[in-house]
Amino acid sequence: MSINPGVILSNITIVRTLSPVAILVLLLVSSMIIASASPEDGKLHLAPLSDTYILKDCSTCKMFNNSELRIGYLAKKVRLNYLPAVKYKIVITNRSNILLKFNLSKVPPGAKIKVARLWLYIKKPPAKSLMAYLYVLKEGYDENWVTWTQRTSDKRWRVPGGFGEPDYTDRVSIDDRAAVGSSIGFLVTDYVSRVLNGTIEDHGLLILPKMEKLSSNDFPRGTNEIDFYADFFSYEGAKREAKTQYIPDLYVEFEKPTAILELSSNELTLERGSSSSLTVSESGTYEGSVKLGFKVVKAPGLKVGPLKVNISKFSEEPGFSTRVTISAKENAMPGNYVIEFYPITPGYNSDVVYYGKVNLTVTVKGGETTYSPTTTTQESRTETSEGTNTPPVQTTTIPITTSTPTTTSASPTMSTPSATKATKATTSPIVVTVTTVQSNPLGLSSNLTLGILGAVIAVLIVGIIIIVAKRR
């Protein structure tokens, strides 16, 4: 939906001449238009399917159940000689990398990723600020078996430590002054987008420490070994300590996918006992499987199931087109019915659809419907506690057609069983209670309603007086 800036500017000019009440109304309408022009966003917080770390100096150690995720290295100062001057060599004796894997299938197919970020929460800061690099893994691993050299029970890493073909994603500095519970965030929008569009296979993520150049001056006096490790809360550790807010978190924000339905005609006219067909199609903008649902959102009089909707089988692929047949039963009450068709897409509750709806208005023609064989009416009035009478209640016995389902050869995709079954009709009476109520949807008394109406009129009169006064 596009918004014409000229229209908005002209509206601003007009607002200067309107009363305060009218200004508020215009601002409200404008905000609704602008809001409706923006696609609806979806947000997900994903906990890891697996999170662990691997150690270089322990090629058989399995760390999957530890309370921390460790990244960094262990450095040792080794004396080379004494004369003519004392010299040292700095040796890296150990190294630790972090592995993580998330279930990205929870992001609905066709969603456009706006931003994705991986958040880790500090359990112990490093002794010296540390740079961490994030890469996309080229090989899968098994959390229960992974070590520095082994990625599954029977497969080894091509390069020990999981660092095969580099697929760099982001880097973050871990401050040595960081507080416990503070967070660092890696930008992973590109990674998530590539996984979801099928460009890469999702094996998980690898976080490596940058090996800084060290000198003997980096070691405290009297210390020959120091660790430059940073520890983060693991999923298991945060759970054990009842600090679930520190569980590693992959935050994904996306535009909800839009499957846009179109009708070959938005209106249909039927005689009672007749049927007609139209085409429902999807615009092809959605990347994923689309099912088709419908419901009657408006019907005149008693809702006795007067319409039958039959959807032909279709591919459920983007850009599908299918034939829909609408039939009006012999006892259909004349008037306008509105059938709402909506897309059903994976990852969302099909009962709550936010996008892509389209309405069909069905007009049923014919004289008044006479129900037989018997009609009984009972009227009663009861006194309420406030001394007002309740509306009269009319009880009507109506013969209704019930259905014994028998499966047909066709098996169309439908949201209601009646659309996929042929029926054998039997007749049985059903009692429908109709309550006649006066038009007062807010439940206000007549005196209060008149009072509100008078107040509104008074506000309008004051606004007109102000406008006239300003123009003079």
**The two structure tokens encoding residue 75:** 């450095």
Query: Sign (positive/negative) of CA torsion 417, 423, 428, 429?
Result: positive
The total of other beta-carbon atoms located within 10 Å of residue 188's CB is 23
Cα 117 to chain centroid, rounded: 17
Mean pLDDT check: name the lowest of 207-216, 270-279, 291-300, 427-436. 427-436
Same structural domain, 165 and 251: yes
User: In this structure, are 284 and 169 located in the same domain?
Assistant: no
- The pLDDT score that the predictor gives to residue 28 is 44
pLDDT of residue 348: 52
Note the pLDDT of residue 351. Answer: 56
Domain that holds residue 341: 261-370+402-424
All residues at 6 or more sequence positions from 26 whose CB lies less than 8 Å from its CB, including other chains: 11, 14, 15, 18
Across 297-314, average pLDDT = 78
Q: What pLDDT sits at residue 91? A: 84
291-298 and 307-311: which strand pairing? unpaired
108 and 208 both lie in a single domain: yes
CA 356/CA 17 separation, integer angstroms? 39
- For residue 151, is it within any domain? yes
**Residue at token pair 């691993």:** 141
pLDDT for 154 beyond 60 = yes
| Rg of the chain, C-alpha, whole Å | 35
Mean pLDDT over all residues of the chain? 74
In whole angstroms, give the CA distance from residue 157 to residue 59.
Answer: 12
Helices and strands, number each (H, E), in the chain: 5, 21
Task: Tell me the pLDDT tens digit for each residue of 176-202.
Answer: 999 999 999 999 999 999 999 889 999
Burial of 119 (0-12, 13-18, 19+ CB in 10 A): middle
Distance CA 219, CA 44 (A): 44
* CATH number of the domain that residue 363 is part of: 2.60.40.10
Q: Let me know whether 169 and 285 are in one domain.
A: no
Same structural domain for residues 243 and 275?
no
Number of domains comprising the chain:
3
Tens of pLDDT along 318-335?
788 999 999 998 888 888
Closest by alpha carbon to 296, among 264, 333, 348, 256?
Answer: 333
Distance CA 331, CA 273 (A): 8
Same domain for 297 and 247, yes or no, is no
For the chain, first and last CA: distance in Å?
Answer: 41
pTM greater than the 0.75 cutoff: no
Specify whether 268 is located in the same domain as 359. yes
What are the C-alpha distances in Å from 471 to residues 16, 18, 22, 447, 463? 12, 12, 17, 37, 13
At 17 the pLDDT is 44
Instruction: Assess whether 346 and 245 both reside in one domain.
Output: no
Mean of pLDDT values over 350-360: 69
Dist. CA 226–CA 213, nearest whole Å: 14
Q: pLDDT per residue over 275-297, tens digit each?
A: 999 999 987 767 678 888 888 88
Report helix, strand or coil for 192: helix
pLDDT at 438 over 70: no
One domain for residues 184 and 141: yes
Please indicate, yes or no, whether residues 153 and 111 belong to a single structural domain of this protein. yes
Which pLDDT belongs to residue 325?
A: 95
pLDDT at 421 over 80: no
* Pairing assessment for the beta strands 358-365 and 267-271 based on DSSP bridges: parallel
d(CA 356, CA 281): 11
